[in-house]
Amino acid sequence: MTRLCWPLLGALFLGACTGPQQRPAAPDPFHQAESLFQAGQYRPAAERFQRIAATLPPPRRHAVLLRAAESWYRSGDGNQARTLLQRIDPRFLSGRERIAFAFLGARLALDDEDPHRALRHLEAIDPERLPSPLRRQYHLLRARSFALAGDLPSLVRERVRLGRWLTAPAEVEENNRVILETLLLLPPEKLHHLQNAADQELQGWVRLARILRRHPVQSLALDDALTRWRQMFPYHPADRHRFLERYLAQLHPPYRSPKQVAAFLPATGPYRRAGQAVAAGIEAVRRLPMARQAQLRYYDSQVDDLRTLYRQARADGAELVIGPLQKANVERLAQLERLNPPVLALNTLDRASRPNLYQLALPPEEAVDQVAASAWSHDHRRALVFVPRNALGERVERHFAAYWETTLGGRVLETETYDPNGTDFTRPLQRLLNIDESRRRFQRLRQVVWEAKFQPRMRRDADFLFLEAAPRQGRLIRPQLLFLGAEHLPVYATRDIYAGHPDPATDRDLEGVRFCDIPWLLGGDVGDLPTVGAFEAENGIHLGPWLRLAALGMDAWRIPFTLLTDGRPLQGATGLLTLGPGGKVRQRLSCAQFRDGVPEVYGLAPQVEDDIGQSE
């Protein structure tokens, strides 16, 4: 694109800065400088343009200074280009010259990693009046600016506009890939907002991303959904020239079961216990009579250079790497130019994935989504939120509010926080239930009617309470809710509410609370895997967080021989597993309700997007 634009801009300047001449007595210095520029001799051209500008009056001087600045930029001297650009007054430039001024200013701003300054430069341009090569460059510069600013929805919109001006197959392919992978990175609430755009082409891209998120690759459900999508969006750019076919093939590249596996787990340092839990889960599955057999070698991931460790594992003959566990280490491995052998990471990336990188994790956000979906499926629409006053509470509250209101269309009426180290939660619960307001109304009434009696009343506009709490906190909060008269307010909690073992005597205080957790802890159908009791007979009694990591290890060993091989859903210890876009393994949790102090499963977490008009 740049090669197309520079000659065109040069031609614009030749017309703007020279007039008709008859039999010039000597070669025109401007044409000599321009000839040097067209020949790729940018530094000599810049020096000549700059000397010429020093001899000219203000109106023409600014146009030639601009040409000098562009020459310095092309020579690789951005500092000189910036200096000259600051001396140029756009008011003395023609319309065509102002376009060149804005483009150069935007490029320099992007080189300085200042996307907002770049966008301000581009705001001076009317894209509708640009010729085709400059139109492509305009949208590409804006797309780069939005990407650098982290504004992914605007990046998608700009890339969709850019696609209408691309003709080269390689450029079209790359643009389509960026659009789709960016959409797959967006959280549900932002994807939902883009779905309402008036642009039909953008709607098609968003609908396609939703389909790829929802259905496993190489499944009949995906084929059916894509057939309906093609009927809704015929001749869509994603379906031209077999782009979608190639993209789906990359999502599930050819894979064969490994004979030798390397496990990158922390054996030292602060994450040592987490590494031990995952390793215990792996070994529990490997001991099963029907388990797939492969050699396994453990490597301590607490090293300075994980990429060197990866190369060592490859030299040792590893055909698959399980791990690492920490997000930062997954990021380091993802920076490798090529992943061979493949990697099944035990954490997830925030950015687009890449071939041969699979991701398996237990992110709290997905568990929040699924318990929220359970509440929605029970016709609850108006929520109260009660979370601890710490980083986890803030993270959970922010994600729940975004998913509940933007994706599902519900409403959060009020949010309250509590001291996670406390035991008396009456005051924040009173504020949340509006009982303190009821008390204030009584005090005002008593000033008028002395004999008035106080009868506290809680709010009646809420459908349920969303709770983030550990077992100890939950066993205190639920009785205090009942004491305040909120016995008819359903409570839906995150998986942290469950300690991992049935404890009727203690968990009677959680009676009626609903939550979603991994099926292995809830006694669900997990095939031939050992029960929690059998596992703990070998490894000792542990709390829920440790057991969830052990379940992650169980699935991490099974997935390379099942899900990655044939793509069919797998009933795993951590949920019903499917392979999603970008190699991400998705888990559908089981949902339960405490009855007589014991969790009683009432089904899989529902997929409710179909119920709110988002079916594909």
Q: Domain extents for the chain?
A: 2-18+25-150, 365-529+558-612
What one-character DSSP code corresponds to residue 124?
T
Sign of CA dihedral 575, 185, 363, 360: positive
Can you name the CATH fold of 2-18+25-150?
Answer: 1.25.40
pLDDT of 2 strictly over 50: no
Q: Give the model's pLDDT for residue 16.
A: 45
Question: Mean pLDDT, to the nearest integer, of 178-187?
Answer: 86
pLDDT digits (tens, 9 = 90+) for 557-569: 999 988 887 777 8
Residue 116, number of CB atoms within 10 A of its CB: 10
pLDDT in tens, 490-543: 999 999 999 999 999 999 999 999 999 999 999 877 878 999 999 999 999 999
Contacts of 133 (CB under 8 A, 6+ apart): 1, 4, 5, 8
Q: What angle do CA 166, 170, 174 make, to 5 degrees?
A: 80
**What is the pLDDT at residue 449?**
45
Q: List pLDDT tens digits, range 272-308.
A: 999 999 999 999 999 887 767 789 999 999 987 899 9
Question: Residue range 451-459: average pLDDT?
Answer: 55
> What does the pLDDT read at residue 27?
65
The per-residue pLDDT for 3 is 42
pLDDT exceeds 50 at position 18: no
**Chain segment 313-344, per-residue pLDDT in tens:** 999 999 999 999 999 999 999 888 888 899 99
Report pLDDT digits (tens) over 227-247: 999 999 999 999 888 898 888
Mean pLDDT of 425-453: 63
3-state secondary structure string across 261-296:
EEEEECCCCCCHHHHHHHHHHHHHHHCCCCCCCCEE
pLDDT reading at 49 higher than 70: yes
| Predicted local confidence at residue 442, as pLDDT | 38
How far apart are alpha carbons 371 and 388 in whole angstroms?
Answer: 18
Mean pLDDT for the chain?
86
What are 73-130's pLDDT values in tens digits?
Answer: 998 888 988 998 888 888 888 888 889 999 999 999 999 889 999 999 999 889 988 8
Percent of the chain with pLDDT over 90: 53
Confidence band, pLDDT 50/70/90 cuts, at residue 444: very low
Write down the pLDDT at residue 289: 79
Taking the C-alpha atoms of residue 316 and residue 80, their distance in angstroms, rounded to an integer, is 52
- Write the pLDDT tens digit of every residue in 384-400: 999 999 999 999 999 99
Name the strand (E) or helix (H) holding 351: none
- pLDDT value of position 456: 56
Condensed to tens digits (0 to 9), the pLDDT of residues 163-172 reads 999 988 989 9
Architecture of domain 365-529+558-612: 3-Layer(aba) Sandwich (3.40)
Instruction: State percent of the chain over pLDDT 70.
Output: 88
612 vs 387 pLDDT, higher one: 387
C-alpha angle with apex 477: 475 to 480, nearest 5 degrees?
Answer: 110
Nearest to 492 by CA among 390, 602, 583: 602
pLDDT at 265: 96
**Which residues lie below 8 Å from residue 425, measured CB to CB, with a gap of 6+?**
418, 473, 476, 477, 480
Confidence class of residue 266 from pLDDT cuts 50, 70 and 90? very high
